[in-house]
Amino acid sequence: MSTKTNVPYRLEFAVEVPGTPEQVWQAIATAKGMSAWFLPTEMEEREGGALHFTMGPEMGSDGQVTGWDPPRRIVYEEDWAALMGQDPDALSPLTSEFLVEAQSGGTCLVRVTSSGFGTGAAWESEFWDDMGTSWMPFFDNLRLYLAHFPGQEATQLEVTASHAGDPEVLWSALHDALGLGDEGATVEVRDATGTVERVGQRQALVRLTAPVPGMLSVFAHGEGDGKATVGVRAYLFSADAADYVRREEPGWQAWLRELSVPS
């Protein structure tokens, strides 16, 4: 017997980004574009096409493109129940719609709506409360990508480490250890040079200029049970980016594990 899903959830926001509608479409509706500011993405670029976001080792989200009107509108559905380890009949798909509207001055407004139906369980409202906090920072990545690296393919570096403690305390320790400073500050982060573009809630975004150009996202979030995750995710744009990742990833991993956290 299926569980009736009748509690609506919805998240809506809009971001202004540089570029033509065609450049924005390339970034939000192709596997190469999505992988350059969001998560590693596989996508059949058509209505009805399969979709997969890689979220870490042995973790991901599967979906399908359900709306396709280049360069104006893309809609896709993800299997929300499978993603959260729930009964397949318990939840409707998680639907995301992107609308691209050209603005004067060479920018576009991207309107984003995510919606779904659930049962009203406490974990569902918690998921939706957290969704904006975890998802919206990626749109700072999108803005930065379109401003400095439009159309380019990214090589990703991502490492995380789990620590005991409060995520706010861990974020402060991570922020201070990296010497991130305020927005606009020039920083050196583990032998890489860049500019702090954005400081948000337990996350920051740095535009890297050397030795490899790219974007570096630094973050901390709670896991529950008195633990939290700290991590870095870099999107790198150069011919030697893959060599850089192979060389630097182990060092980043060790550095995050050994991060000194006040007790």
pLDDT digits (tens, 9 = 90+) for 147-192: 999 999 999 999 999 999 899 999 999 999 999 989 999 999 988 9
Domains (ranges, CATH) in the chain?
7-148 (3.30.530.20), 155-257 (3.30.530.20)
Q: What per-residue confidence (pLDDT) applies to 56?
A: 77
Q: Are 52 and 42 in contact (CB under 8 A)?
A: yes
Angle, CA of 228, 84 and 1, to the nearest 5°: 150
Top pLDDT among 106 and 263 is at: 106
Mean pLDDT of 225-240: 93
Q: pTM value? A: 0.94
**CA separation for the pair 207, 214 (Å, rounded):** 6
User: Which distant-in-sequence residues (6+ apart) come within 8 Å of 118 by Cβ?
Assistant: 5, 7, 9, 90, 91, 92, 124
Top pLDDT among 2 and 261 is at: 261
The answer to whether residue 51 scores a pLDDT higher than 90 is yes
Q: What per-residue confidence (pLDDT) applies to 169?
A: 92
CA atoms within 13 A of residue 6's CA, in its CB half-sphere = 3
pLDDT digits (tens, 9 = 90+) for 2-14: 456 789 999 999 9
**Tokens 């305020």 sit on residue:** 182
Q: What per-residue confidence (pLDDT) applies to 3?
A: 57
pLDDT digits (tens, 9 = 90+) for 60-98: 999 999 999 999 999 999 998 888 888 877 899 999 999
**CA separation for the pair 221, 170 (Å, rounded):** 9
CA dist list (Å): 49 to 76, 194, 227 = 9, 38, 38
Q: What per-residue confidence (pLDDT) applies to 4?
A: 66
**CA separation for the pair 247, 241 (Å, rounded):** 10
User: Which distant-in-sequence residues (6+ apart) come within 8 Å of 57 by Cβ?
Assistant: none
Q: What per-residue confidence (pLDDT) applies to 87?
A: 83
Q: Are 145 and 37 in contact (CB under 8 A)?
A: yes
Top pLDDT among 81 and 146 is at: 146
